[in-house]
Structure 1
Amino acid sequence: MKILLFFIAFLVGADELMLGPILVPIGQDLGVAPERVTLFITAYSLALACCQLLLHWRRMHPVKMQ
């Protein structure tokens, strides 16, 4: 199970590294400054962190069905 979790974490990190270089051309096509485009990576990382916290909390405190 630990190897699977490691592999998933690796894929998430690799996804963020591959996303960075293509943001500048996408920003140029959309007419957005590169500084503003990099906020996308920050927003993605924060959303991912919040989802991970929520899913972990749900796993530790399951809802009991009646």
Structure 2
Amino acid sequence: MGSRRRFKQSSPLGERLAEEAKSLRELAKTLPPGAQREALLRKARQDEVGAHITEWLTSPGLQPPK
């Protein structure tokens, strides 16, 4: 069996997703209306949802009782 390379992420997943969503929206603003622009906006929305889900899953309210 091969071993998987593991590395420490420099920032939390939710933060990275939010940053990517922001970048995608900025890029989409530079494009004319069309399929490519819609694809970027759709990916940005997916990243935003992922960021919100990650935030929700790591919230203190979902932690097991201590």
TM-score normalised by structure 1 residue count? 0.45
TM-score normalised by structure 2 residue count? 0.45
Which has the higher relative contact order, 1 or 2, with Cα contacts under 8 A spaced 6 or more apart?
A: 2
Q: Which structure's residues are more often helix, by fraction?
A: 1
